[in-house]
Chains A and B, each alone.
Chain A
Amino acid sequence: MQQSIESQRIVITGVGLAAPGAATLTDFRANLLAGTSGITTIDLRYMGTYPAGICEFAETRYRKKRENSRGTRAGCISVYCANEALIDAGIDFSEYDRAATGVYIGLTEHGTVETENEVYNIGQYNNDVNYWTHHHNPRTVLNNPAGEITMNLGLTGPHYVIGAACAAGNAALIQGVQMLRLGEVDLALCGGISECVGSFGIFASFRAQGALAEHIDPAKASRPFDRDRNGIVISEGGCIFTLERLDRALVRGAKIYGEITGYAMNSDAKDFVLPYGPRQRQCMELALRRADLQPSDITILNAHATGTKQGDIEECNAIRETFAECPHTWINNTKSSIGHAMGAAGVLELAGNLPSFTDHQVHPTINVDNLDPECALPGLVTGIPKQLDQVDAILNNSFGMLGTNSVVIVERFVAK
């Protein structure tokens, strides 16, 4: 069967999200342009109070409270985001088959929150395992957040999750693109989810690494590129996109946010936690080649930078080398406003930048009070938005532990 070129072009047609401080793309974008932080604090068992990004959204809009109680926080966020994305895309399954719909969700981790809670729970009963919940396994199987979506929406196509540390959101997006191009599915719900603010262990581990942000004002705690940055602000969140083949999207007159034209993933093969700029650079360059773009074709580069000392510098070095001759490439960082949403980070940050194609603004990096000279990239947008005449391409970086790197390039949709 001959495939049309349009059937190999993959477009984003719907966005559903829950971010610290916003539960719609409109509100999220407004916060980012206004430089409003979504970071507050959380008081966690054993840990005490730390800055964190918490999501408030209509948890019972798409399923009952009892289903939220039975499932996981990640599942609750997933179900909300998936429903919101479908509504945004105008998809009611009259044009798509539920059996040909794939659900691909990126996770940094899953099950930590539920396991910690159960260990604590049986501690109240002398560690008698008869009190260990029968919900533990269905809650902690890795496909849980994706499976909860399929049960909620009656989707009978494939669902699974992609584990790729903090590159996972992008990785799931890439999986969706590939499955659509292969013809495995006709509609893909792709994105990333994180519930990790519920885990004291994740906070404690980052603190033990010296990588957990602290600041007397939580809104100032997430400060990538700032000289005084002192680590990561952990956030929960989720973002799911509907991806379609262009030919099908055009037939149904879909709104098109952008076209995914390039992507790449690679591995540092070096260290458990420390990032490696040269490999990040290779990843960006591979994505550019696949998109058939030059670095100077990128209008906005959304940096992964999390606010750690070394991580930010590594990425800045990689960007500096690849984009040395690109005076019209603007660089921003979304984590400065919402913290690090782990598995959701890549997709939330991409979503926060997609409206640039229509409003022509680059949202700023906030909390850069004293720019670290080693992070002083020429195109860095700080403090206030940058107004442009046109935005053609967004490059989204997302990197994770064990040296997993991902880059996704989205271009302004142009009919060819």
Chain B
Amino acid sequence: MTRDEIKDVILEIIEDIDEEADFANLDADAPLRDQLDLDSMDFLDIVMELRKRYKLQIPEEEYPQLATLASCVNYLEPKLKNV
């Protein structure tokens, strides 16, 4: 997957969680939870969805790497390069 495709997947998963999520002014380098109405359970939903879709097992200590949209893409790019 390309970086853009990974970004789209993340946004799609967030939209599935909250159909009212507004991405218009999303800063890719700022924490997602500060900008969107997401809490810790929503965050675990994102992790679970990545597991279901791509069989990705993300260790808990690496969760902080999913904090911003840009860090998500950076973290997932090597893991999803063959998807």
- Which residues of chain A have a CB within 8 Å of any CB of chain B? 64-66, 69-70, 125, 130-131, 133-135, 138
Complexed CA–CA distance, A125 and B44 (Å): 18
Contacting residues of chain B (39-79) with chain A, CB-CB under 8 angstroms: 41, 44-45, 48, 51-52, 57
Decide: B17 and A66 in contact? CB cutoff 8 A.
yes
CB-nearest residue of chain A to B18:
A66
Question: Are the C-beta atoms of A65 and B41 separated by less than 8 Å?
Answer: no
Query: Which of the residues B19, B41, B51 comes within 8 Å of A135, measured between beta carbons?
Result: B41
Residues in A with CB closer than 8 Å to B45 are 134
Q: Is the CB–CB distance between B41 and A130 below 8 Å? A: no
- Beta-carbon contact of B19 and A130 below 8 Å: no
Nearest CB in chain A: distance from B41 CB, A: 7
Taking CB atoms, residues of chain B closer than 8 Å to A134 are: 41, 44-45, 48
Within 19-52 of B, Cβ neighbours of A (below 8 Å) are at 19-20, 41, 44-45, 48, 51-52
**Could you pull out 12 A-B pairs where Cβ atoms are within 8 angstroms?**
A65-B19, A66-B17, A66-B18, A66-B19, A66-B20, A70-B41, A131-B48, A131-B52, A134-B44, A134-B45, A134-B48, A135-B41
12 extra interface residue pairs, beta carbon distance < 8 Å, beyond A66-B19, A130-B57, A131-B52: A64-B20, A65-B19, A66-B17, A66-B20, A69-B17, A125-B52, A130-B51, A131-B48, A133-B48, A134-B44, A134-B45, A135-B41
Nearest CB of B to A120, in Å = 14
Minimal Cβ-Cβ distance residue in B for A132: B48
**What's the nearest-Cβ distance from chain A to residue B42, in Å?**
8
In the assembled complex, which residues on chain B have CB atoms less than 8 Å from the CB atom of A65?
Answer: 19
With a CB–CB cut-off of 8 A, which chain A residues contact B20?
64, 66
Interface of B is mostly: helix
Number of A-B contacts (CB under 8 A): 22
Bound together, the chains give a CA A125 to CA B52 distance in angstroms of 9
Q: How far is the CB of B34 from chain A (nearest CB, A)?
A: 18
Taken together as a complex, chains A and B put the C-alpha atoms of A209 and B44 apart, in Å, by: 41
Q: How far is the CA of A138 from the CA of B39 in the complex (A)?
A: 14
Q: How far is it, in angstroms, between the C-alpha of A138 and the C-alpha of B48 when the chains are bound?
A: 17
Q: For the complex, give the distance between the alpha carbons of A64 and B45 in Å.
A: 17
User: Which residue on chain B has the smallest CB distance to residue A135?
Assistant: B41
> Chain A contacts of B18 at CB under 8 A?
64, 66
Q: Provide the bound-state CA to CA distance between A135 and B20, in Å.
A: 21
Q: For residue B51, which residues in chain A have a CB less than 8 angstroms away from its CB?
A: 130-131
Complex interface: chain B residues within 8 A of A131 (CB): 48, 51-52
In the complex, A134 Cα to B51 Cα: how many Å? 13
Complex Cα distance, B17 from A133, in Å, reads 14
CA distance A70 to B48 in the complex (A): 14
Write the chain B residue with the least CB distance to A125: B52
A133 to B49, CA, bound (A): 10
Q: How many angstroms from the CA of A134 to the CA of B40 in the assembled complex?
A: 10
CB distance from B9 to the nearest CB of A (A): 18
A283 to B18, CA, bound (A): 49
Task: State A69–B45 Cα separation when bound (angstroms).
Answer: 11
Report the nearest B residue to A65, measured CB to CB.
Answer: B19
Which residues of chain A are within 8 angstroms of B57 by Cβ–Cβ distance?
A: 130
Please give me the residue from chain A that is nearest to B20 by CB atom.
A64
Separation of A53 and B22 alpha carbons in the complex (Å): 38
* A49 CB, nearest partner CB in chain B, Å: 30
Return B23 CB to nearest CB of chain A, in Å. 15
Q: How far is the CB of B62 from chain A (nearest CB, A)?
A: 15
Residue of A nearest to B39 (CB): A70
A161 and B70 CA atoms in complex are apart in Å by 44
A416 and B48 alpha carbons, distance in the complex (Å): 61
Whole-angstrom distance between the alpha carbons of A125 and B48 in the complex?
12
Q: Which residues of A contact B41 (CB under 8 A)?
A: 70, 134-135, 138
C-alpha spacing A125/B57, complex, angstroms: 13
Q: Nearest B residue to A70 by beta-carbon distance?
A: B41
A133: chain B residues at CB < 8 Å are 48
In the complex, which residue of chain B has the Cβ closest to the Cβ of A133?
B48
Taking CB atoms, residues of chain B closer than 8 Å to A64 are: 18, 20
A309 to B: closest C-beta gap in Å: 46
CB contacts (< 8 Å) of B48 on chain A: these are: 131, 133-134
With a cutoff of 8 Å between Cβ atoms, the chain B residues found around residue A130 in the complex are 51, 57
What is the bound-complex CA distance between A66 and B19, given in angstroms? 7
CA distance A135 to B48 in the complex (A): 11
| B43: nearest chain-A partner, CB-CB | A134
Q: How far is the CB of A135 from chain B (nearest CB, A)?
A: 7
How far is it, in angstroms, between the C-alpha of A135 and the C-alpha of B44 when the chains are bound?
Answer: 9
| Docked complex Cα distance between A66 and B15 (Å) | 10
Kindly state the separation between the CA atoms of A138 and B57 in the bound complex, as whole angstroms.
Answer: 23
